[in-house]
Chains A and B, each alone.
Chain A
Amino acid sequence: MAENDVILETRGLTMRFGGVVAVNNVDFSMKEGELRCLIGPNGAGKSTFFKCLTRQYKPSAGQVFFRGADITSDITFQIARRGIGIKTQVPSVFDGLSVHENIWLSARRHHKTRAANKITDQIIERVGLGHATKQLVGRLAHGERQWVELGIVLTGEPKLILLDEPTAGMTGDEVGRTTELIREINRQAALIVVEHDMQFIKAIAQKVTVFHHGQILVEDTMINILSNQQVRDVYLGKHAV
């Protein structure tokens, strides 16, 4: 795949909940290897957008293309197999299982048992959970559970990784490590990162997409976004659109 190829594209993607239009006719596009930040006030539709991409919700209308293939009618596990990994806003991990088992289940999807065992150990080292290998994930602190989920997603070696508020509940130190990790991951995969932490966004951002009322408000570099009056109004609660 060439650098300039589109990895993900949505056309007219729409998700309605009764009268609420959480995602409204979104045409989104990003390239292979890109690191895109997705921001917007609470309720803007960012999480819902992610859920439509991974078929946790069936979109009310519109199409999704991944590496040229129409994946609109794929279901969740098929989308995962195509190479889209997601860290959900509320950590979705196996709380009743150990850290090792959590990562192993992800590794085993792609490798034979022996290789899976090896990869599991490597990933646990990489996300810095070596001290907690045998602990139940449900007993870990919120920040650590985020790491477990990051580890699970990394293990699958997806081509596109969706991260929904990955630094929530992390200490400043952990946020720093996440920044490092995201840069590292970006060498092999494209990413969309939803975050509220502006410092964090500044540290990683290339291109930023701003969501508002389920629509793309603007799409630009971080510097331009920060000086954009529309975006400021949205964040200050004024009605700009």
Chain B
Amino acid sequence: MTDLMTSFRRFDSSRHGTWVVAGVMVVLLFILPVLDDPLLLLQVRYYISMIILALSMAFIWGFGGIMCFGQSMFFGLGGYAYAIAVGNFGESTAPFFLAMIVPALFAAFLGYFMFFGRLNDVYVAVITLAVTLALYYFINSTSGDEYTIGKARLMGFNGISSIRKFNWPGDSTALLSANHLFYFAMGLLIATYVGLKLLLGSTFGRVVVAVKENELRAELLGYDVRLYKLAVFVIGAAIAGLAGCLSINYKNFISPNAFHLSLAAQIIMWVLVGGVGTLLGPIIGCVVLLYVSFILGTGASGGGLNTYLIFGLIVMIFVLVIPQGIVPTLRDWREQGGRYRRMTAGAVLSMAEQLPASSRAPVRAFGERMLGLAPPSGHSGNKG
């Protein structure tokens, strides 16, 4: 099991691993439209936007060491930036870029105070959480007519509906077909994944990981860690904004729920479950958890079990039962098993002594065999 995790991490960080993952995405890019299943394509587009969101968190947390408790705020900002801009321009090219620029600028502003103010990790988590909450309540309260940007109303808790989808650049009358929207989304996912991989392999990426590993040493070498953290935070925000704008192109709708803490928490869970410090892990974590919530009937239909309840349970299981992660836990269980087996064997052997001589031998043999199966006592199993 340990070997499995190690090889997973090695695969994720290796060059051929990157080629394999990107290759699978490219294959999907060509195969899925051929299946001629519009509903499937639509579903996949939803997953793609969420995966890109997962990647943004995987990057800033897993590699940048920034614990952002409100990654959903950039997702929401990207979505709203797109919705408002496209409502004004009637054309999607500039709004598409604004969906990344607006969250990036906001992250630069927020990050400047956090990282140049030398706030520690806990405060970063608390502040990102608080700002996300504030944005959520603010957007919720903008249903009045006075909250209008240009031609676009913010609509408050009602959300903005019938948002224009992507059109071909420069031609506002030529909307992208469902297939093209899929190609575009999948292409962006591939670009995001490969782009992050290239970034992590560059000098910049290697310094970013070094800052996460040991901030003091990075500074003592002469690296301005504040700038690196800020850059990571801003890049992550732009990617989350991209996800937000793609998710709108799936539902034509955005509401303050984009800022909701439950989404922020889900993003963290995708990374936590999939593996902090990898890119592939959070992709898998995201898909699996979304699918779990879907088959529990809590997806689009809204019926059945409460998603929050399920995800709350998953987090509780992770935090309470296996806080140190799955791998060491399994090892402990094996050792525990050995202890119980030895106890049982001891009981069997003492029972054998009470039995009449004729039936004693087989019971004793059984007990001894159990003992023989048990690993040696003490903590010597730790190395295994």
Contact = CB atoms under 8 A, between A and B. Distances in A.
A109 B203 CA distance: 10
Residue among A77, A86, A88, A101 with max Cβ neighbours from chain B (10 Å):
A77
B207 A105 contact: yes
Nearest to B224: A77
A127 B206 CA distance: 23
B151 interface: no
B214 interface: yes
Contacts of A95: 213-214
A92 B214 contact: yes
A41 B222 CA distance: 31
B221 A93 contact: no
Contacts of A106: 221
A80 B216 CA distance: 11
A170 B225 CA distance: 31
B219 interface: yes
B223 A97 contact: no
Contacts of A156: 221-222
A177 interface: no
Given A92-B217, A94-B213, A95-B214, A113 B203 contact: yes
A93 B217 contact: yes
A113 B203 CA distance: 8
B118 to A, nearest CB: 9
A85 interface: yes
Interface in B54-95: none
B220 A105 contact: no
A125 B284 CA distance: 42
B133 interface: no
A94 B225 contact: no
A131 to B, nearest CB: 21
Contacts, number: 57
Contacts of B200: none
The SS class assigned to the B binding surface is helix
Residue among B203, B218, B220 with max Cβ neighbours from chain A (10 Å):
B220
B220 A54 contact: yes
Contact of A77 (B206, B209, B213, B222): B222
A187 B206 CA distance: 32
A43 interface: no
Contact of A96 (B206, B213, B223): B213
Interface string A72-93: 0000110011000110100011
A152 interface: yes
A181 B140 CA distance: 65
Contact of B210 (A54, A76, A88, A97): A97
A56 B220 CA distance: 9
A72 to B, nearest CB: 17
A105 B222 contact: no
A106 B222 CA distance: 9
Given A94-B210, A97-B209, A113-B203, A77 B223 contact: yes
Interface string B192-229: 00000000000100110110011011111111110000
A76 to B, nearest CB: 4
A101 B221 CA distance: 13
B227 to A, nearest CB: 9
B219 A76 contact: yes
Interface of A: 54, 56, 76-77, 80-81, 85-86, 88, 92-97, 101, 104-106, 108-109, 113, 152, 156
Given A85-B220, A97-B210, A109-B222, 20 more contacts: A76-B216, A77-B219, A77-B221, A77-B223, A80-B222, A88-B216, A92-B216, A94-B214, A94-B217, A96-B213, A97-B209, A97-B213, A101-B206, A104-B206, A105-B210, A105-B221, A108-B203, A108-B206, A109-B221, A152-B221
14 contacts: A54-B220, A56-B216, A77-B220, A77-B225, A80-B220, A86-B220, A88-B216, A92-B220, A97-B210, A97-B213, A104-B206, A105-B221, A108-B206, A109-B221
